[in-house]
Structure 1
Amino acid sequence: MSVTGYCVLAVTILLASALQASIGFGIGMFAAPIVALVDPAMIPGTLIMVATLVTLMVVVREREAIDLHGTGWALLGRVPGTVAGALLLAFLPHRALAILLAGVVLGGVVLTSSGWIPAPRRRNVVLAGATSGLLGTATAIGGPPMALVWQRNSGPALRGTMSGFFLVGSLLSLVMLGLTGAVDGHTWWAFAVLVPAAVAGYLLSRALNRYLSPQRLRWLAIGVSAAGAVLLIARELLAM
């Protein structure tokens, strides 16, 4: 990895981690398209590791606001979704995975910006958990389904509940990726060198929570994610 490439990734992870720690989701939507452009081998393993670290810090900070009941039902759906995502990653070619990743981002952008709010009933929460497990394991973008079903929550409850779900779910994804051989030395090395950026992003979120509204951060994530996904699709199409 070149110095320029590392700087791009470090800044991306810093901003994505700040976003994740501020609104409870977004690290995949924000970072995955850019990371895929610089170093595709980091998708999804390294990005899931970074997300795990950030969500762990948020869970500790917002532990009193976590909805354990809702998290439990979401995790019930996450398990089969995680298995399906690991199998998809094992058999899908790189170019197809990159285009799928970009499509997931654009789909998440459309849904999260449309204002659609599904009722957080048990069935919807389980279904969202399964979809998040599949997408999160295959592409490191598992946030949109859970953000949709829990978007009526706000502040610490949203950040804490989302982070509690993603912490356990990300660990499950990493186990499945390890069993399918998708986690190797490069995955761990890339994670290690990006840890400082992730921690800095978490610390930045503490300041952002005081001065910037979650709504503004959400729209920033949507805009950058859409632009990154379009660039990723363009790169793959031009490479054909």
Structure 2
Amino acid sequence: MKRLILFTLVLFATQLKAQQTPIPSGVFHWADVPVTKNDGREGRKIIQGSTAELAYLDIHATTQLKGAAPRPPHAQTETEEFIFIKEGTAKFTIGQNSQVLGTGSLVLIPPHEMQAIQNVGDTPLTYYVFGLRAKQPADMERSAKAGGILFINADTLKYNTTKLGGRINYLNRPTATLSNLEMHMTELKGKGPAHAPHTHVDTELTLVLEGETEMIIKDKTYKAVAGDIYLMNSNELHGISNSQDKPCKYLAIRWK
């Protein structure tokens, strides 16, 4: 009987741990995130919880100082990751492939792939890690059909001029975790909105890369600068604006 009670308590605790709290819409400021430091690294835990589509979403940032030894290669089991370089130069080794990528570049890593990241530049390397775990098991066949591992070198991307500034398309494809993941960078040259407030079923993140911005989410207005992240949950009215009469840039990330 005691063993049964103990087993039940452990199972209950495990289930509670697995049930992540839904992430509220709003803004998450880079400057407000506590910093942990060790072994030539700085870590920032920015967002953790669940969304309409994801059982688990974890966003954290790591800074590797110049000369910091890379962590041993490791793999995630049910979690898919994409990594965006905020600044610096990194050597990514994913599976049997290695590439050196700079600021603004992106890597998509399906579950079960061995990975390692090394700072190979002369300055600190800072990157955001977006960890995704679906409510259903990862679909590795869908991932393989869509292309599997993806390296995106920012230097090879095309800048498309628009009436308000410009846009760079990063990707628009299924993944192991998501039926679709879409990312693009928008630049607004002057003050004003990017578009009228709107809604869509996709959950959306907006990572501010440069300048000062404002975001309407439902009935509130939030402000964010470079390094900050907005999160808009499914079907919530939202709209972003450049709050200054000088350029701003942001990375928009949508999934379903």
TM above 0.5, yes or no, is no
Q: Which has the higher helix share?
A: 1
Q: Which has the higher strand share?
A: 2
**TM-score, normalising length: structure 2:** 0.24
**TM-score, normalising length: structure 1:** 0.26
Structure with the greater alpha carbon radius of gyration: 2
Bigger RCO of structures 1 and 2 (CA < 8 A, at least 6 apart)? 1
